[in-house]
């Protein structure tokens, strides 16, 4: 597996060498969600940052009617634009499975970063990693054909593709479910 793919998939060990996972969790609220329950609703301002301990979530943009991303166990997520700019989001984050989530409020995060060097280093490291993920997505994923993107997704996340509904995978790839079926069957 290439360095891109390795860095895209695993970073929690590196992050939690800077800040202990228990220190992180102590600052958060632990929440549980059922399958299909929404963590973030479109039209609201989202000022929370999340760590997914168990489960699988997806983010959908209703202005484009498209699945934008998936996050699984040990991943971090938020509605980024709403989180940063404090505006109403067009995004929805939904649980594709039952989930255990740690929620960290933005105000708490800012205070921790202002007052504790290890929290600042941890936050910077997380943002750097997320930037690398975005760069990978733009340079290595988007330019490929739908079939190539699907095969790359399966290669990078083999266990996830069986957990994600096909309609969400098709939406994420920007194709119809019929086209996805053709790709999966090898006819395309």
**Other CB atoms closer than 10 Å to residue 180's CB: what's the count?**
21
Residue 27: is its pLDDT beyond 80? yes
Give residue 147's pLDDT.
94
Residue 148 belongs to some domain of the structure: no
pLDDT tens for each residue of 113-163: 999 898 998 889 888 888 888 888 888 888 999 999 999 989 888 887 889
Give residue 71's pLDDT.
92
Helices (H) and strands (E) in the chain, counts: 10, 8
What pTM was estimated for this model as a whole? 0.87
**165 neighbors 57 (Cβ within 8 angstroms):** no
Which of the four pLDDT bands, split at 50, 70 and 90, describes residue 64? confident
Residue 157 belongs to some domain of the structure: no
Residue 184 belongs to some domain of the structure: no
pLDDT tens for each residue of 162-187: 899 999 999 999 999 999 999 998 86
Give residue 82's pLDDT.
93
Residue 1: is its pLDDT beyond 50? no
Give residue 93's pLDDT.
97
Give residue 98's pLDDT.
98
Residue 160 belongs to some domain of the structure: no
Residue 91 belongs to some domain of the structure: yes
Q: CATH code at 127?
A: 2.60.120.10
Give residue 131's pLDDT.
86
Give residue 101's pLDDT.
97
- The full length of the chain comes to 188
Give residue 46's pLDDT.
95
pLDDT tens for each residue of 66-102: 999 999 998 899 999 999 999 999 999 999 999 999 9
Number of domains within the chain? 1
- Burial (CB < 10 A; 0-12, 13-18, 19+), residue 122, is buried
Distance CA 149, CA 144 (A): 6
> Can you say whether the dihedral through the CA atoms of 103, 37, 63, 9 is positive or negative?
positive
Which of the four pLDDT bands, split at 50, 70 and 90, describes residue 12? low
Give residue 181's pLDDT.
93
Write 180-183 long-range contacts (CB < 8 A, 24+). 180/146, 180/150, 183/146, 183/147, 183/150
Q: What is the domain extent for residue 64?
A: 3-143
**87 neighbors 59 (Cβ within 8 angstroms):** no
């Amino acid at each position: 597996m290439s360095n891109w793919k390795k860095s895209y998939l695993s970073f929690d060990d590196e992050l939690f060498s800077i800040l202990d996972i228990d220190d992180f969790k102590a600052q958060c609220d632990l929440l549980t969600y059922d399958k299909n329950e929404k963590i973030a609703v479109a039209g609201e301002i989202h000022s929370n940052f999340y760590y997914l301990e168990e489960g699988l979530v997806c983010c959908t943009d209703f202005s484009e009617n498209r699945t934008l991303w998936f996050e699984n166990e040990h991943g971090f997520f938020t509605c980024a634009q709403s989180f940063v700019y404090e505006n109403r989001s067009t995004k929805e984050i939904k649980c594709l499975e039952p989930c255990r989530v740690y929620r960290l409020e933005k105000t708490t995060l800012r205070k921790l970063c202002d007052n504790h060097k290890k929290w600042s280093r941890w936050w910077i490291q997380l943002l750097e990693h997320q930037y690398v993920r975005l760069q990978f997505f733009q340079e290595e994923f988007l330019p490929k054909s739908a079939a190539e993107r699907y095969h790359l997704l399966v290669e990078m996340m083999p266990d996830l593709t069986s957990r994600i509904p096909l309609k969400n995978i098709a939406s994420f790839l920007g194709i119809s479910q019929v086209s996805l079926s053709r790709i999966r069957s090898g006819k395309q």
